[in-house]
Amino acid sequence: MTTGEIAALVKGELVGDADLELESGHTLEKARETHLAFWKRRPGQKELPPTRAGCVIVDPRTSADGRTLIRSLHPRRAFAQALRSLMAQPAPDAGTDPSAQVDASATIGSRVSIGPHVVIEAGALVGADSVLGSHAFVGGGAVLGRGCRLHPGARVYGNARLGDRVTLHAGAVVGSEGFGLVFETDHYERFPQVGGVEIGSDVEIGANSCVDRGALDDTRIGAGTKLDNLVHIGHNCQIGRHVVMAAQVGLSGGVVVEDHAVLGGQAGIGDRARIGARVQLGGQGGLLPDKTIGPGGAYWGTPARPLREQLARQALVNRLPGVFDEVKRLRAKVEKLEES
Amino acid sequence: MTTGEIAALVKGELVGDADLELESGHTLEKARETHLAFWKRRPGQKELPPTRAGCVIVDPRTSADGRTLIRSLHPRRAFAQALRSLMAQPAPDAGTDPSAQVDASATIGSRVSIGPHVVIEAGALVGADSVLGSHAFVGGGAVLGRGCRLHPGARVYGNARLGDRVTLHAGAVVGSEGFGLVFETDHYERFPQVGGVEIGSDVEIGANSCVDRGALDDTRIGAGTKLDNLVHIGHNCQIGRHVVMAAQVGLSGGVVVEDHAVLGGQAGIGDRARIGARVQLGGQGGLLPDKTIGPGGAYWGTPARPLREQLARQALVNRLPGVFDEVKRLRAKVEKLEES
Amino acid sequence: MTTGEIAALVKGELVGDADLELESGHTLEKARETHLAFWKRRPGQKELPPTRAGCVIVDPRTSADGRTLIRSLHPRRAFAQALRSLMAQPAPDAGTDPSAQVDASATIGSRVSIGPHVVIEAGALVGADSVLGSHAFVGGGAVLGRGCRLHPGARVYGNARLGDRVTLHAGAVVGSEGFGLVFETDHYERFPQVGGVEIGSDVEIGANSCVDRGALDDTRIGAGTKLDNLVHIGHNCQIGRHVVMAAQVGLSGGVVVEDHAVLGGQAGIGDRARIGARVQLGGQGGLLPDKTIGPGGAYWGTPARPLREQLARQALVNRLPGVFDEVKRLRAKVEKLEES
């Protein structure tokens, strides 16, 4: 792509050479002549740092000084958009690897690519333009929409229905049995897990993450939601749209997370708790069973409290040594007063 | 199954139509005419909510009002029992998929089902009625009892011995090398990990969970114990019977967990710590190396303390602002007294 | 190996029979005549406990009493060294299993063992003496050095370059896409992840752990670093040499961990935070984004503080009930003084 084409794509203002051919993108520090880069001005920074990048996406205040720049209100966002186009990879060749095992009763859409040792069971449905990496598994009756991507070793049980453009990274598991137990005198029996999983379009599920099927009803993940690696979603969770969960977040059973909530890494949510829309829960935060936070607001700690309150509590503890000294001094004074 | 057969199975009292044919179970809200449901009365709830369920399992106080009910002292438990029968699935066809690779020296019991791309190495033993899902791996010399279930991509190393009816969910790993290191001047060498893993009957291990082999001795998990997804069990852990660990719990090396203990999600246990029988450790709780809690009692926090004590500590912090004010007032008063 | 050979290997002083043939090693309690064991003297222990071990590695103060011993300054270390030799296993037979799928353009070194259902894509390079377990995946263009070991189901994307003797345990994933998102009005778009992963020699990555590729630059793990199971390494992390991370540690994006740092289990590190050389961070510790700790020193808690300070804070809370009582008493006294 040329610098002119990129400027048009990101709706930025091009300054300098519109015909420079760019091949890829990199950081300001490592970019070369054929690279696009972007500059996110840090507080106090006045000048674009030296760079060998062929073209840099910058904020509107940046002066060109003879360089080729694209001015944009959101340089990082524009760079991401440009890079998605620059690095767009050709879809892998459609077709089914001979070592894959696709049941004759499965329905496979057009232009689907099925890699080595993939297994697709009876009655499954794989939408057009989907790509299934090596060792992927699609259970009997599962439904994958158009343009889905299963990375190597991703597994979708037969109870799951995925929308369009859903991505499962390597080793991710969707539709495993939930952790439902019934205590019988001296041992546990299973509470049967017969619900399914319903995943909206444009959802991503990170490497080795696990999404359990519902017990009776379905586990649901709304469109556009993004889960990082090693996340656990328990049975019957109801997750809204455009929710973000960082790595190693864990949701127990029946948790509700509303639209646009953001959960920091390693956060843990108890059974049936509810996280309101747009809540931001800090890393390692913990919400107790049946509790609700939000909608809106930043929360942190275990048990999760409003961030401001949590920080205030920590500050209170900081003040303790001084207060202990004060009490000691007061006691001495009071004793002196009592004697006098 | 008919409503009469279900009532007999769960030893409940049938009220109404004994010949209703039920096909499956669902929640009260979503159940239809061919569904069984159950009602767990919430505090203050007096009447069975409206439902289209063909039959509902209820507590003995519930009046029938013309509906078909099964009265039971433990509705949820009875429902789970009924559903296990209602939903009992026929075992997958016995036999070995042509793409599976089973070493000629492995011993495979009767009616075993071996899925596509499964690998079973030399000398392994797989008990009768076991089901091995696609891409499962059984290492050389491993022993699986009767009726074991390896879900897709579950892996059992050759050092492991599993009892009967052990279930490994998708991607679970049993028998990987433990994290034993020896620091040598400026780098780490491995402390050889040559022990095994011994797993009792009726144990379940969740999706993408990991159980390491012992260093010299064995790692052990007692009969009936249930581990949720993404759990880590370090080398040489000794876990009792009917223990429950929620998702993302992590046990370092040599941890002892006694019978019927329950560990909440994301709890973390330090090397050689001991959790006594029937202890309940709250989610995200942390036990330091070499410490002991229990037997019995509820614990929470890091470091783990008796729940009551932990809550009391949190309440103390709540009182701090008031105490700080009190100290300030006292100082003013004392200064006034000193002046007078 | 004979006891004499073992003593020579570990540079220990042999006492007793130099010609005893040992087959393996075990704990003091469980060792038999053909076993080597070691004794780590606990405080107060004076005598070597009774054992049936053929030979025990002991500290120099231990008296022989007619037994065959090897005296060493570091019994555990010497035992580990001896056991590595005693238990050295013959490399699996070199060669490629017929069910494996190795692209014709991949370069495979000498004496490489490629197990069943392994997939190696175009242009990948696998160094001599490497062992790839069943269902392993090596993406197009990936580079593995000499003597690498991929356990069953380990996956290396094409963007990764591994040094020599790198071990990936079962289900580990290296090179998955990082969690880079750009918010666009009402939904998230991906920030393209086009960097790679560079892993130094002698690195180990635990079962089901995940190492993401860099966004633009590379994610790096230095030589000799050891990661336990279920660890998450976000995009662009820069991890030094001989770093140790226990199970379930999570690093967000762009985290720097310097040489010889040790992270306890379930520790969580925020974006772009920095952990200095030789820092020891306790289990479940949390470091906030952009923060730095170390170099050197022990840290604990969330937010991570110097261990001493963290313990002092906990002790302050312990003293609160007493201080509250003291304030109450003072108030009573002050009121009395005011009245008089």
- Please tell me whether residue C57 adopts helix, strand or coil conformation: strand
ipTM above 0.90 for this complex: yes
> Is residue C134 less than 8 Å (CB to CB) from chain A?
no
Other beta carbons less than 10 A from residue B43's beta carbon: 4
- Taking the mean position of all CA atoms in its chain, how far away is CA C82? 21
How close, in Å, is residue C210 to chain A by CA atoms?
A: 7
Q: Is the pLDDT of residue C88 over 90?
A: no
Name A204's bridge partners.
A167, A226
Q: Which of B182, B213, B237, B326 to mutate to test the interface with C (most CBs of C within 10 A)?
A: B182
Which residue among B212, B217, B316 places its CB closest to the CB of C317? Answer: B316
Same domain, C147 and C203: yes
| Chains sharing 3 or more CB pairs under 8 A with chain C | A, B
Which residue among B77, B116, B338 places its CB closest to the CB of A119? Answer: B116
Confidence of residue C91 (pLDDT cuts 50, 70, 90): confident
Same domain, C119 and C155: yes
Q: Which of C96, C134, C174, C177 to mutate to test the interface with A (most CBs of A within 10 A)?
A: C177
How close, in Å, is residue C163 to chain A by CA atoms?
A: 22
- Model-wide pTM > 0.90: yes
Read off the CATH number of the domain in which C72 is found: 3.40.1390.10
Q: Is the pLDDT of residue C92 over 90?
A: no
Q: Tens of pLDDT along C290-322?
A: 999 999 999 999 999 999 999 999 999 989 999
Q: Spell out which residues of chain C touch residue A43, defining contact as CB-CB under 8 Å.
A: none
SS3 labels along chain A: CEHHHHHHHCCCEEECCCCCECCEECCCCCCCCCEEEECCCCCCCCCCCCCCCCEEEECCCCCCCCCCEEECCCHHHHHHHHHHHHCCCCCCCCEECCCCEECCCCEECCCCEECCCCEECCCCEECCCCEECCCCEECCCCEECCCCEECCCCEECCCEEECCCCEECCCCEEEECCCCEEEECCEEEECCCCCCEEECCCCEECCCCEEECCCCCCEEECCCCEECCCCEECCCCEECCCCEECCCCEECCCCEECCCCEECCCCEECCCCEECCCCEECCCCEECCCCEECCCCEEECCCCEEHHHHHHHHHHHHHHHHHHHHHHHHHHHHHHHHHC
Domain end marker among C55, C86, C117: C86
Same domain, C115 and C81: no
Q: Which of A72, A201, A266 to mutate to test the interface with C (most CBs of C within 10 A)?
A: A266
Q: Is C325 contained in some domain?
A: no
Which residue among B99, B316, B333 places its CB closest to the CB of C320? Answer: B316
- Please tell me whether residue C95 adopts helix, strand or coil conformation: strand
Same domain, A242 and A290: yes
Which residue among A173, A319, A330 places its CB closest to the CB of B171? Answer: A173
Helix H or strand E segment including B311: helix B307-339
Residue whose token pair is 């783990």: B304
Same domain, A319 and A276: no
Which residue among B137, B187, B217 places its CB closest to the CB of C135? Answer: B137
Q: Tens of pLDDT along B62-88?
A: 998 899 999 999 999 999 999 999 988
Which distant-in-sequence residues (6+ apart) come within 8 Å of C277 by Cβ? C240, C258, C259, C260, C261, C294, C295, C296
Q: Is C316 contained in some domain?
A: no
CA distance linking residue B274 with residue B65, whole number of Å: 53
Please pick, among A169, A235, A242, A260, the residue that the annotation labels catalytic: A235
> Is residue A137 less than 8 Å (CB to CB) from chain B?
yes
By C-alpha distance, the chain B residue nearest C136 is B135
The answer to whether the CB atoms of C229 and B330 lie below 8 A apart is no
Structure tokens at A75: 């340089």
Same domain, C126 and C105: yes
Read off the CATH number of the domain in which C135 is found: 2.160.10.10
CA distance linking residue B172 with residue B170, whole number of Å: 6
Same domain, A195 and A226: yes
Q: Is C182 contained in some domain?
A: yes
Question: For the residues B129-143, what does the mean pLDDT come to?
Answer: 98
If contacts are CB pairs under 8 Å, which of residues 221-240 in chain B contact chain A?
A: 224, 226, 228-230
If contacts are CB pairs under 8 Å, which of residues 42-61 in chain C contact chain B?
A: none
Q: Spell out which residues of chain C touch residue B153, defining contact as CB-CB under 8 Å.
A: 135, 153, 171
The lowest-confidence range among A90-94, B240-244, C259-263 is A90-94
Question: For the residues C257-262, what does the mean pLDDT come to?
Answer: 98
Q: Spell out which residues of chain A touch residue B321, defining contact as CB-CB under 8 Å.
A: 316
The answer to whether the CB atoms of B207 and A270 lie below 8 A apart is no
How close, in Å, is residue A273 to chain B by CA atoms?
A: 13
Q: Tens of pLDDT along C213-231?
A: 999 999 999 999 999 999 9
Q: Is C317 contained in some domain?
A: no
Q: Spell out which residues of chain C touch residue B265, defining contact as CB-CB under 8 Å.
A: none
* B295 exposure class (CB count in 10 Å sphere: 0-12, 13-18, 19+): middle
Same domain, B67 and B180: no
- Cβ(B108)–Cβ(B124) below 8 Å: no
Q: Is C186 contained in some domain?
A: yes
Other beta carbons less than 10 A from residue C319's beta carbon: 13
Catalytic site includes residue B235: yes
Which residue among A208, A283, A337 places its CB closest to the CB of C210? Answer: A208
Q: How many percent of chain C have pLDDT more than 70? A: 100
Domain end marker among C86, C113, C133: C86
Q: Is the pLDDT of residue B89 over 90?
A: no
Q: Tens of pLDDT along C12-67?
A: 999 999 999 999 999 999 999 999 999 999 888 989 999 999 999 999 999 988 99
| Chains sharing 3 or more CB pairs under 8 A with chain B | A, C
Domain count of the fold of chain A: 3
- Which pLDDT score is estimated for C339? 87
CA dihedral C94, C95, C99, C102 (to 10 degrees): 120
Q: Is C323 contained in some domain?
A: no
The answer to whether the CB atoms of A30 and C217 lie below 8 A apart is yes
**Half-sphere exposure at residue C184, Cβ-oriented, CA atoms within 13 angstroms:** 16
Identify the segments of chain A with pLDDT beneath 50.
none
Please pick, among B35, B135, B232, B235, the residue that the annotation labels catalytic: B235
Which distant-in-sequence residues (6+ apart) come within 8 Å of C138 by Cβ? C106, C118, C119, C120, C121, C124, C126, C132, C144, C150, C156
Same domain, A114 and A260: yes
Domain that holds residue A122: 95-306
Instruction: Please report the number of interchain residue pairs, chain A to chain C, with beta-carbon separation below 8 angstroms.
Output: 168
Domain end marker among B34, B51, B86: B86
Residue whose token pair is 């840099």: A56
The answer to whether the CB atoms of C190 and A77 lie below 8 A apart is no
How close, in Å, is residue B146 to chain C by CA atoms?
A: 24
Q: Is the pLDDT of residue B210 over 90?
A: yes
By C-alpha distance, the chain B residue nearest A101 is B116
- Which pLDDT score is estimated for C272? 97
Q: Spell out which residues of chain A touch residue B243, defining contact as CB-CB under 8 Å.
A: none
- Which pLDDT score is estimated for C65? 87
The chain-wide mean pLDDT, for chain B, equals 96
Q: Is the pLDDT of residue B37 over 90?
A: yes
Which residue among B173, B234, B337 places its CB closest to the CB of C337? Answer: B337
CA distance linking residue A58 with residue A69, whole number of Å: 7
> Is residue B186 less than 8 Å (CB to CB) from chain C?
yes
> Is residue C244 less than 8 Å (CB to CB) from chain B?
yes
Which residue among B115, B228, B284 places its CB closest to the CB of A268? Answer: B284
CA distance linking residue B14 with residue C137, whole number of Å: 56
Q: Spell out which residues of chain A touch residue C320, defining contact as CB-CB under 8 Å.
A: 320
> Is residue A125 less than 8 Å (CB to CB) from chain C?
no
Q: Which of A56, A229, A262, A328 to mutate to test the interface with C (most CBs of C within 10 A)?
A: A229
Same domain, A226 and A340: no
Name A58's bridge partners.
A71
Same domain, A38 and A108: no
The answer to whether the CB atoms of C24 and B194 lie below 8 A apart is yes
If contacts are CB pairs under 8 Å, which of residues 86-105 in chain A contact chain B?
A: 99, 101
Same domain, B55 and B201: no
The answer to whether the CB atoms of A182 and B76 lie below 8 A apart is yes
